[in-house]
């Protein structure tokens, strides 16, 4: 656009706000208003970001900017290699405002406290009147969540979810009762595979010229980013994201429920939707995603346990954790209820470990910047919990290394759900598990050098050793939690020699992994 002509209203959008609907909601007029987007190095380095995550954000932004231009919008785009780019949103907001001289600045509520504070401060410094609009992408507003939370002693997802289902009239009958009689069919969704599964592959989105150019720019400006790029296969436009949604509903949704907690070597996506990056970048809207799944149930192509499980993820869990993130305030990320102070094991960065389950989970992350929810929770997250790794380090790793990483989603999932670091705001108990769980839900233990039946000795499964070490360290606390008391009492059944050997073995493992004391 002509940078010399002043604009009336300037909407500055971020890399996870790629929905044209925001322009209408901000009341923009093609004749006098403009949109700005900035690529800055700082957003890929404030936590170390997987190279695929960075390429996805930037390529999707470039495609989105082209689309807006095609649709007649005036777009000001700051490229990563732009000569004047100061590489920080903080300073770019001031620079762009100086260049375009808008009478008014508009933002959509960002997805992170850090960015909200930065934007507010930077906008204030410009002296130009500004507003931060609510993010209309979500089916529930933050105000709705705060009102709901103010009437609750505990913020349990199940209660939030039921109210949202009723409000949105999703999978309910005329009297607002759940279709099928039950709100939650999770107990039907815990099957594992007896033999190698043959889940349909996710569709391929070969990098186009824009993505290839983005890859070159990222290689040039950010050569140090972790992860591999060769398998890049993410939807970078709304059109591609809609194709991915249709493919999931047609080919994988029907078995998504049954096998949502299962894992298998070399099969990273199984029956999962793999839509979280498209949703979090706002290429897809939650309403249309839920509608597509419910339609599949209504025409009989997907069973209720699959569709309910998926709906629960979208209008339940996803919006609930966003509410918890903002409702808990800026201090949420610093919580560390279990006083976990260990540093992140080095193999989280290179995948070089002899634990088969961790090797598989980390391979998927390093190769594809992806892991499905049970690998995130019960393998990489569980190890962080039982090994006593500092929550902020684990949360930063998750935020940067997964392609769908945005803080409102990542922080409560990691800190609250996986690590119990918020002391029970989000989860009623820690999701700590020994190797038994992994053995039940996967084939990993069959080829592992460790023995999943052992908790002491040379071949003891590290998940067993660390689980019992964790339970011994926190036994007193967990005895006071009704949902943990039984597991905590089991510590008393350990033999004297096990009580001596387990902490020693756990420390030796952590020393080998470079975990500081």
Looking only at residues 347 through 366 of this chain, which bind ligand SF4 when binding is defined by CB under 6 A?
355-357
- Interaction of residue 386 with ligand SF4, rule CB under 6 A: no
3-state secondary structure of 449: coil
In the complex, what is the shortest distance from the CB of residue 187 to ligand SF4, in angstroms, rounded to a whole number? 24
- Of the candidates 253, 262, 248, which has an alpha carbon nearest to the alpha carbon of residue 374? 262
The overall longest dimension of the chain from CA atoms, in Å, is 79
**CA 413 to CA 175: how far, in whole Å?**
33
Q: Classify residue 35 as left (phi > 0), alpha (psi -120 to 50) or beta.
A: beta
In the complex, what is the shortest distance from the CB of residue 72 to ligand SF4, in angstroms, rounded to a whole number? 55
- Interaction of residue 470 with ligand SF4, rule CB under 6 A: no
Instruction: Pick the closer one to ligand SF4 by CB: 463 or 478.
Output: 463
- Interaction of residue 255 with ligand SF4, rule CB under 6 A: no
- CB neighbours (10 Å) of residue 134? 12
Number of residues in contact with ligand SF4 under rule CB under 6 A: 14
Q: Out of 462, 471, 488, 502, point to the residue binding ligand SF4 (CB under 6 A).
A: 462
Q: HSE, CB side, 13 Å, CA atoms: give it for residue 353.
A: 26
Per-residue binding letters, 421-440, with ligand SF4 (x by CB under 6 A): --------------x--xx-
Instruction: Pick the closer one to ligand SF4 by CB: 444 or 478.
Output: 444
- Of the candidates 348, 393, 389, 345, which has an alpha carbon nearest to the alpha carbon of residue 371? 348
Instruction: Pick the closer one to ligand SF4 by CB: 281 or 433.
Output: 433
Instruction: Pick the closer one to ligand SF4 by CB: 320 or 463.
Output: 463
In the complex, what is the shortest distance from the CB of residue 356 to ligand SF4, in angstroms, rounded to a whole number? 4
Rg of the chain over all Cα atoms, to the nearest angstrom:
24
Instruction: Pick the closer one to ligand SF4 by CB: 268 or 356.
Output: 356
316, 307 Cβ separation under 8 angstroms:
no
**CA 59 to CA 308: how far, in whole Å?**
33
369, 52 Cβ separation under 8 angstroms:
yes
In the complex, what is the shortest distance from the CB of residue 447 to ligand SF4, in angstroms, rounded to a whole number? 8
- Interaction of residue 463 with ligand SF4, rule CB under 6 A: yes
- Interaction of residue 342 with ligand SF4, rule CB under 6 A: no
Identify how many contiguous H helices and E strands the chain contains and give both numbers: 25, 5
The answer for residues whose C-beta is within 8 angstroms of residue 179's C-beta and 6 or more apart is 171, 172, 173, 304
- Interaction of residue 444 with ligand SF4, rule CB under 6 A: yes
- Interaction of residue 452 with ligand SF4, rule CB under 6 A: yes
Instruction: Pick the closer one to ligand SF4 by CB: 272 or 455.
Output: 455
Cα–Cα distances in Å, from 123 out to 94, 108, 293? 7, 13, 41
In the complex, what is the shortest distance from the CB of residue 345 to ligand SF4, in angstroms, rounded to a whole number? 13
Hey, which bits of 429-492 come out as E strands? Answer: none
Instruction: Pick the closer one to ligand SF4 by CB: 292 or 452.
Output: 452
Q: Out of 185, 314, 366, 445, point to the residue binding ligand SF4 (CB under 6 A).
A: 445
Judged by the rule CB under 6 A, the positions of this chain that interact with ligand SF4 are 355-357, 435, 438-439, 444-445, 448, 450, 452, 461-463
């Amino acid at each position: 656009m002509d940078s010399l002509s002043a604009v009336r209203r300037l909407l500055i959008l971020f890399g996870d706000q790629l929905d044209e609907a925001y322009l209408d909601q901000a009341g923009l007029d093609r004749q006098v208003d403009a949109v700005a987007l900035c690529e800055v190095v700082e957003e890929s380095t404030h936590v170390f970001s997987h190279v695929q995550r960075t390429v996805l954000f930037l390529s999707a932004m470039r495609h989105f900017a082209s689309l807006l231009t095609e649709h007649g919008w005036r777009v000001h785009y700051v490229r990563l290699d732009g000569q004047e780019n100061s590489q920080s949103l903080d300073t770019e907001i001031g620079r762009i405002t100086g260049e375009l001289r808008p009478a008014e600045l508009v933002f959509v509520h960002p997805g992170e406290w850090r960015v909200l504070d930065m934007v507010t401060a930077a906008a204030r410094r410009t002296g130009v009147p500004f507003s931060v609009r609510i993010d209309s992408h979500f089916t529930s507003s933050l105000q709705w969540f705060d009102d709901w939370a103010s009437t609750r002693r505990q913020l349990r997802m199940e209660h939030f979810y039921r109210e949202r289902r009723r409000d949105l009239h999703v999978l309910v009958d005329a009297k607002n009762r759940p279709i099928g009689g039950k709100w939650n069919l999770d107990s039907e969704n815990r099957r594992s595979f007896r033999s190698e599964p043959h889940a349909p592959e996710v569709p391929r989105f070969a990098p186009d010229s824009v993505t290839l150019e983005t890859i070159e720019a990222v290689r040039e400006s950010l050569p140090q980013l972790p992860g591999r790029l060769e398998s890049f296969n993410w939807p970078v436009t709304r059109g591609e994201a809609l194709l991915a949604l249709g493919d999931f509903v047609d080919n994988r949704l029907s078995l998504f429920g049954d096998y949502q907690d299962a894992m298998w070597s070399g099969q990273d996506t199984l029956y999962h939707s793999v839509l979280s990056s498209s949703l979090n970048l706002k290429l897809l809207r939650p309403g249309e995603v839920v509608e597509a799944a419910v339609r599949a149930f209504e025409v009989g192509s997907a069973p209720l346990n699959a569709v309910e499980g998926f709906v629960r993820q979208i209008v339940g869990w996803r919006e609930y954790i966003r509410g918890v993130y903002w409702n808990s305030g800026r201090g949420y990320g610093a919580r560390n209820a279990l006083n976990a102070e260990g540093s992140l094991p080095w193999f989280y960065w290179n995948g070089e470990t002899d634990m088969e389950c961790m090797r598989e989970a980390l391979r998927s992350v390093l190769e594809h910047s992806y892991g499905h929810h049970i690998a995130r929770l019960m393998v990489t997250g569980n190890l962080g919990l039982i090994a006593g790794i500092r929550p902020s380090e684990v949360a930063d790793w998750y935020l940067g290394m997964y392609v769908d990483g945005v803080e409102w989603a990542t922080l409560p999932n990691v800190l609250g759900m996986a690590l119990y670091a918020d002391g029970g705001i989000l989860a009623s108990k820690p999701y700590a598990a020994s190797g038994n769980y992994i053995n039940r839900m996967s084939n990993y233990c069959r080829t592992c050098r460790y023995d999943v039946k052992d908790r002491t000795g040379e071949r003891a499964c590290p998940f067993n050793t660390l689980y019992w070490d964790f339970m011994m360290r926190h036994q007193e606390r967990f005895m006071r939690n009704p949902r943990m008391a039984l597991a905590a009492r089991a510590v008393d059944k350990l033999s004297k020699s096990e009580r001596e050997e387990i902490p020693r073995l756990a420390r030796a493992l952590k020393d080998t992994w470079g975990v500081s004391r």
